[in-house]
Amino acid sequence: MGTGRTLHVRCATWEQVDVFHTRKLRRGKLLSMKVPFQTEIGAEVTLGLELPNQVVVAIEGVVQNASPIDGDTKTWIEVELTGFTEDVLARIRVMAATAAMAAVPATRKPAPAAAQRRATTAHQEEELPADERQLFQQLTAELRRMRGLAVHDVLGVGRAADADEVRRGWMELVRQHHPDLVARHRAPAITHLAEELTILCNRAYDRLRAAMVAEGRATVVGSVLRSPPGWLVGFEDIASVDAAAVRAALVEPASVSGRHRADTPPPPTAHGGDAFELRARAMLGDGDSNNAQEVLAAALCVYPRSRALRSLYYVASAIGALEKGEVMLATSQLETALAHNEQCSDAVVLLEHIRKHGDSNPDQVRSLFR
């Protein structure tokens, strides 16, 4: 016999408890469920109803209906909970009420306080408990909604949002939810919810800030997020296809025709800085590294995100240093170039050149660009 079989039903929240006895039970006593064992009509079972406060209520029942499913391993049963008396129900209701009191003391408590407030000023009616309860529900819903969102969506910004947009989005949310601003709703439950919401917003903001800083799209000062002060901080584009073009340019002397010959189609993502780059390369070939640097700096004002231009700027600066015989400085400039664009073959070639020859002869350097 199935005597002593215990079914366990776990309710994580009081709403679930409510649902259990209002909707799950038919005619107040009948429970239908699938169980992983075989049983027969008339067998006695015990239902262990675990409440959110970890209390387990044992309810006696008798199987009224049983039909095997899944090849005799499981049974669909209908149990009449004979032990689910009014008494048990009342006990559960008391516990639910106690728990609700503990979680939301304000929604029930403030009757005398409200009366006092009403006596003092008329326009404080917004603080009436009914309103607080409504606010509480509203905040709970908002918290539940935001918990499931990605950081961008929490702040309500797009994935490509810039520093200002992210900051504005965050500020708007914080202005709405900061516990300080809802502090006049003295109910601890509301302050707590507001704090949870603010924590959520702050975390989303911090995560997003960290990501943007890592990408070089922003700098962080205290709580403030700023757009990068100049082009040197930007890393977010990848000039992967450009590398091929750059290599081609190195192999074949820099001239417009050499770069975009009719038989080789121009690289699909060639950035708009091509003209600048070619001019700069030509100048480097002539040994005019100073002017090349100027040209590249100007180009970077227009195309601040081009890695190819950025690395070439450092290469030009390194060549300038080499001309003055400052090999150490040149090396560090070349390494910076590689940090900005690891596929910068100019920097690789020059670094190898320096390593081989120790010092360097400007003519040889120039020859690399001719």
Positions that interact with another protein (CB under 8 A): 12, 54, 113, 116, 120-121, 124, 171, 174-175, 178-181, 183-184, 186, 195, 198-199, 202-203, 205-206, 210, 219-224, 226, 229
C-beta closer to another protein: residue 64 or 202: 202
Minimum separation from the CB atom of position 131 to another protein (A): 14
- What's phi and psi for 33, nearest 5 deg? -160, 165
Contacts of 22 (CB under 8 A, 6+ apart): none
The nearer residue to another protein, 130 or 224, going by C-beta atoms, is 224
Nearest residue (CB) to another protein, 23 versus 175? 175
Judged on CB neighbours under 10 Å (0-12, 13-18, 19+), 214 is exposed
CB of residue 159 to another protein, shortest distance in Å: 21
- Distance in Å, CB of 125 to another protein, minimum: 13
- Please, what is the angle between helix 289-302 and helix 274-285, to 10°? 170
CA 117 vs. chain centroid, Å, equals 43
Counting other chains too, the contacts that 19-26 makes at CB distance below 8 Å and 24 or more residues apart are 20/49, 21/84, 21/89, 21/92, 25/81, 25/84
| β-strands 219-221, 44-50 pairing | unpaired
Buried b (16+ CB within 10 A) or exposed e, 140-158: bebbeebeeeebbebbbbe
CB of 113 to another protein, least distance (A): 8
CB-based contacts of 133, cutoff 8 Å, min separation 6 = 104, 107
Q: Considering the complex, state which of residue 185 and residue 259 has its C-beta at the smaller distance from another protein.
A: 185
Q: How far is the CB of 56 from another protein (least distance, A)?
A: 14
**Cβ proximity to another protein, 205 vs 314, nearer residue:** 205
Residues 253, 216: Cα–Cα separation, whole Å:
33
User: Min. distance of Cβ 224 from another protein in angstroms?
Assistant: 6
Give the shortest CB-142-to-another protein separation in angstroms: 17
CA distance 21 to 25: 6
Is 230 or 272 the residue whose CB approaches another protein more closely?
A: 230
Nearer to another protein among residue 221 and residue 328 (C-beta): 221
Token output for 312: 């070439």
